[in-house]
Every structure is written in structure tokens, then in C-alpha cells.
Structure 1
Amino acid sequence: MVGPIGDPHAAHGSDEREAYEHHLGIFEQVIAPACEKYGITAVRADGIAHAGDINEQICQHVVESDLVVADVSGGNPNVMYELGLRHITGKPTIHIGEAGQLPFDIASIRTIRYQRTRSHLAGARKEIESALEAGLRDGFELLTPARVLRGLQGSEGSASVSAVGDDGEEEDENAPGLLDDFAVIEDGLDEMTADMEAITKAIETIGAMTEQSCTELLDLTQKDAPMNARLAGVARYAEKISAPAGELHSVSNAFAQRMVTLDTGVRAALGLIEMTPPEERGEGAEEFLEQLMSLDEAAQHGLAQVGSFGASVAAMVRVSRHFRKPAKEISAGVKQLTSAITRMEGWAAKARELAGSATD
């Protein structure tokens, strides 16, 4: 069992002691009973009885054990390192994690989620039991990192060579390849495209409302309307843009989160395409590269539009307190979008490079 351990010697009431008690409870109430049901002995690092270098023993267990159950709650660095070692082996691994505490890096991998209540812990134990039953009966499915590694290793040989399973039987030549496994990534890119369209719509809505309100405020100024009337006009404008500003922030946040979640998979796919001769890539690879380039172009256009709002946020706040909330939403959206697009530029640059090599 891989997961956070905490400190059993820490003072009572301290975060380290509470973490120890919590994760010990997860092990004793959820993981160990589920494993025992199928005759599997579950071991935690602090339960290794043999003398020796604990780090070496942990790595040995991580690499050689028949099964690893990993609690990824909070993205503990030691856990993520050990989990990376495990993924490379391609051996059976089950992910569990506390709801709301899952790291984005592995959010695309199926994870059994639990909450700190008796009923939810019992439900998590049953889900682990079901996963064990299905895995022991039908075989455990390779996780994406293992498929990536095996795909890269296989690409060093002839593309026409058939794979042979552990039982010595030849596997189906028409079995899904690595690019087929990345269908989930393409779905994620489609969702990002939809996010970008929503961002553009929010920007256009704010722009239209701004133009309309500017005309109204200019008219009030030309008529030398009293300051209260002008302030009322400003308040109406701020109220109008509050909803689209909130939408801009919300969608930009979703866009940025998808970016983080997909980054590792997209880079792995680009690496595989790079290792594959252009004439052997197929239409799927070309469409994937085109999708990355198109998404980047749309995002750059959206960033140029939203940037103009970001530049005027400070000035809006100085005009009236009514602008504080929408200005905050717009500013946060600009920052999230800018950060995400910076990472996307790397995808698109590599995609253009690979697309160019295919036409040379």
C-alpha cells in the first residue's frame, strides 16, 4: 500500500499526528479488509518487519509486489514518486483518494474516491473489493503511463511485428494502439475548444454591453446630467457585465484545469508521433496535430481580446466601487487563460514542427 503515513510520534492534535491516524484508519478499515477477502496480504511501509534500508525496501515492494493500492490524496511527493515507479512496471495498480484532494496530474486515471464518514469508507472498501474481483477474474487493465511506455518500446521495432502475451499466444494485430488509447485526450481537447468558444462569447457579450453603456454615459455627459445620474449609469453597466464576467472567470478556470490534466498525455502523444515515421502515422495523428494547432490559434485570438479587458481593469476600479467584483472576475480569468495558453503554445509549436516534417 502506497500512501501518506504521517508521524505517529508527533504531538496529539498536530497535523502530522492527525494525518497518521487518518491514513492508518484508511488502511485498517478500507484497504486491508478488502485485500484479505481475496487472500491478499496488505503491507504499509511502517509495517515492513525486515531490517535494512527502508527506502530500498519500499522501492522493492513498489516494483515487485503483485498489486499496489495507492492513496493519492493531496499529491504527496513521496507517493507520486513511488507511484511513478509502479506505473513503469505495468503491474496492477488501484488508485484511491479523498474527494477534493486528487492531484490534477493523474485525474484522468480512474480513482476510487472516499470521504471521512463511516458510510463512505464502507463504500470505498466495497469498490476496492469489486476492482479486485474484476481484476483477478478478467485481468487488470494497463494504465495510460504503462501503455505509453510499451508503445514507445514497441515503436523501436517493425510496425508489422505482432505482440505476444504472457501466455505465449499472439495478440490481435487489430487491437487498439496507443493513439486509440489517447481518444480520451482528444475528447478533452474538444471540451477545451468548447470552453474557448464560451470564453469568446463572454468576451463579445462584455464588449457589446460596454459599447452600449459607453454610448449611454456619453449621452449623460453631453447633457450635463448630475453626478448621481452618471453614477447610476455606471452602476447599471457594472451590474450588466457581472454575469458574463463571472462566466469568463468560471470557464477560464475550467480551461486551465483541463490544460493541466491533459498536459502529460498530450506530450506523450506528441513524443510517440515524433518517433513514428511520417508515412506510418496515419490520419489520426494528422488530425491530432491539426486539432492542437487550431485550438492554439483560437486561444491566441481569445487572449488578444480578453487582454484588452485586463488592461482596463485597474482603471475601471478607480472609476467606481461598483466595478470591483466584475473587475476581479475579469482579472482572474485573464490570468488563468494566459497561464494555460502559455503551456498550449508548447503543444502547438511541437505540432507545427511535426506537421512540417511530414510535408518535407
Structure 2
Amino acid sequence: MSDPSAAAPEIASRPTQVFVASPIGSPGTDVHREALTTLDYIIRKALAPPTWHVLRADLESSPDSIGQGVVRRIIESDLIVVDLTNHNPNVFYELAIAHCYRRPVVLIATVGTSIPFDVADQRTIFYDLTSPKSVYAAQDQLLEAAKVALDNPELLVTPLTNMQRLSEITTKIESGDSDQLTRVLEDVASRLSRIERRLPDRTTPPEIVTGWVSREGGSATVHVGEPIRARATTLSDDTEVQELLKSLRNAIGAPKNDENDDTETDKD
């Protein structure tokens, strides 16, 4: 029988591996200095040892080429911190690899950086290296975002997320999964019903004023004609849309949307 007073063996825990994808720049340039400052005073301060191990490709002493090392590190790391400052092409390439392998990602950028539309729906932490308050705030936000990304990988939303879901749905439908098809139709019908309710009541078509310009000599005269009524065309007037709604409701047995039906409240 083992001695209960004996100390339990100490289990060494591996630090969380963090790969940083950021602009690097040539030594001596502003880009290089700012990148190192961001790495040392925001990223490494927020994700400090021994809990975290932060690495950037150009600072690694691996025998691999930088290209090979970057891909390997992205795939193997627990977390990827991506700095979108200056819209560096290499950084976006590395971000794309991280998305393909569904690695947890946290985006950061200097204040004033415009975020491209394809990643605009992902939260970005902004920082200002000239403001100590901003630097401290970015440290706190980065640590919190890193924990959330690691604890909730299913919350990661990327440009590939919807494509992967669509591929899975298509595969199920093609294999004869009628339940999956029903769920898709129900979702489409629900969305169209919400569109119907949000359409304005256009019972009175708007007025359109016609006009023309005549020129005589060096002057121009604007003539305004009588107002005419233009037919207001909305989705509610669109026969094709109405037929689609009717077909979808019949396919899934859904009740016809009624103007007085307030069982579902549309939330903008």
C-alpha cells in the first residue's frame, strides 16, 4: 500500500501555444519597430509565460524554411493572433490557412485600420501604441478574447463557415434525408414571412414629377410637368414571390401568413 503522506508526482502542463501573424518589415523600418512593440508590449504582456508561449515566424530558430514553419505553426498552435495592420498580404494568407484548419483566431489592429468585408463580422481588438491607456486596454481585451476563443471553438465564424454548413446540408439532402430538406424549407418559409411583414404598405403609388430642359442661346430653362402616378412595385405585388411563398407553405404544411398573426415578433 502506498504511503498517503507521499507527495503526488508533479504533472507538467504544456503552455498554450500562440502563433502571431503580423506585419514584420525590414529591420530599422517603422513597420518593424511597431510590429516588435506590439508583440512585446501587447501580445506578450497579455499572453505571458508560463501559461502562454508566444511565437512569431521570423523569431523562430527552426531549420524549416519560413514558409514551411508558418504553415506548420498555424496548424499546430492552439491559438492564432492576427494583426491586420497595414493589410499585409502575407498576414491575410496566414489568416486564410488558419480559417481552413479552423484554428481559434483573435484579430487585432491599430486604431484607424479598415477591416475588409470578408472578416468584418469577426471582432477586432483595436490598439494605439501612442496611448498607454489603449495599450493596457488591448492587453486585457486580448487575454479575454483568447480565453473565449479557446473555450468556445464552435463560436468561430469565418467566410468558410457557411460554406461548410451548406456542404453538409447538401450532402444530407442528396442522400435522401427528408428531415433535413424539411428544416431547410421551414427556414426559407420563415424568412420570407418575416420579409412580408416588414414590407411597407404601398397602397398609394408615389408621385413622379416629369420634366425637361430647353436651351436657347446661352441659357437653359427647366420645365416641370404634371405629376404622374407610378405603379409601386414591392415584393408584396410580385406574383412570382407570392407563388413561391404559396408553394413553400404547401410543401411544409405551414399556415398562410396573416396580417393579424402576431405569434412571431420580428426583431430588427
The alignment status of 1:111 with 2:103, answered yes or no, reads no
The alignment status of 1:158 with 2:172, answered yes or no, reads yes
The counterpart of 2:162, out of the listed 148, 153, 157, is 148
Which ranges of structure 2 fall in alignment gaps of 5 or more residues? 1-19, 176-180, 200-205, 214-219, 221-239, 249-268
When normalised by structure 1's length, the TM-score is 0.44
Whichever of the two has the greater Rg, that structure is 2
Partners of 1:42 and 1:79 in 2: CA distance: 16
- Say whether the 8 Å CA contact 2:46–2:143 is kept in structure 1: yes
What secondary structure does 1:144 align onto? Answer: coil
CA RMSD of superposed structures (Å): 4.0
Partners of 2:73 and 2:87 in 1: CA distance: 20
What secondary structure does 2:55 align onto? Answer: coil
Report the CA distance shift for 1:285/1:18 in structure 2 as closer, same or farther (over 3 A).
same
Q: Partner amino acid for 1:282? A: V
Partners of 2:40 and 2:113 in 1: CA distance: 20
What secondary structure does 2:35 align onto? Answer: helix
Partners of 1:354 and 1:22 in 2: CA distance: 54
Aligned residue in 1 for 2:258 = none
Using the aligned pairs only, state the percent identity.
25
Partners of 1:3 and 1:276 in 2: CA distance: 45
Report the CA distance shift for 1:132/1:277 in structure 2 as closer, same or farther (over 3 A).
closer
- 1:117-165 per-residue CA deviation (whole Å, 9 max, x = no partner) reads 22211211111112233445x4242123353243123213336x9xxxx
- Say whether the 8 Å CA contact 2:149–2:156 is kept in structure 1: no
Which structure has more strand as a fraction of its residues? Answer: 2
Report the CA distance shift for 1:130/1:286 in structure 2 as closer, same or farther (over 3 A).
same
Aligned residue in 1 for 2:31 = 19
- Say whether the 8 Å CA contact 1:35–1:42 is kept in structure 2: yes
- How many angstroms does 1:356 deviate by? 9.1
- How many angstroms does 1:94 deviate by? 0.5
Which structure has more helix as a fraction of its residues? Answer: 1
Report the CA distance shift for 1:118/1:285 in structure 2 as closer, same or farther (over 3 A).
same
Partners of 1:21 and 1:276 in 2: CA distance: 56
Aligned residue in 1 for 2:93 = 81
Report the CA distance shift for 1:153/1:66 in structure 2 as closer, same or farther (over 3 A).
farther
Partners of 1:64 and 1:355 in 2: CA distance: 51
- Say whether the 8 Å CA contact 2:106–2:149 is kept in structure 1: no
- How many angstroms does 1:37 deviate by? 4.9
Aligned residue in 2 for 1:63 = 75
- How many angstroms does 1:80 deviate by? 1.1
When normalised by structure 2's length, the TM-score is 0.57
Report the CA distance shift for 1:356/1:72 in structure 2 as closer, same or farther (over 3 A).
farther
Report the CA distance shift for 1:109/1:57 in structure 2 as closer, same or farther (over 3 A).
same
- Say whether the 8 Å CA contact 1:4–1:71 is kept in structure 2: yes
The alignment status of 1:5 with 2:24, answered yes or no, reads yes
Report the CA distance shift for 1:278/1:132 in structure 2 as closer, same or farther (over 3 A).
closer
Aligned residue in 1 for 2:65 = 53
Partners of 1:130 and 1:277 in 2: CA distance: 36
The aligned length equals: 188
- How many angstroms does 1:114 deviate by? 0.4
Aligned residue in 2 for 1:248 = none
Q: Please list, as runs of the form range in 1=range in 2, the aligned pairs for 1:1-360 lying within 5 A after superposition.
A: 1-8=20-27, 12=28, 17-37=29-49, 39-105=51-117, 106-116=119-129, 117-136=131-150, 138-140=151-153, 141-158=155-172, 279=185, 281-286=187-192
- 1:249-302 per-residue CA deviation (whole Å, 9 max, x = no partner) reads xxxxxxxxxxxxxxxxxxxxxxxxxx99974653245368889xx8xxxxxx9x
Partners of 2:56 and 2:194 in 1: CA distance: 42
Partners of 1:34 and 1:128 in 2: CA distance: 6
What secondary structure does 2:52 align onto? Answer: coil
Q: Partner amino acid for 2:124? A: T
Report the CA distance shift for 1:354/1:73 in structure 2 as closer, same or farther (over 3 A).
farther
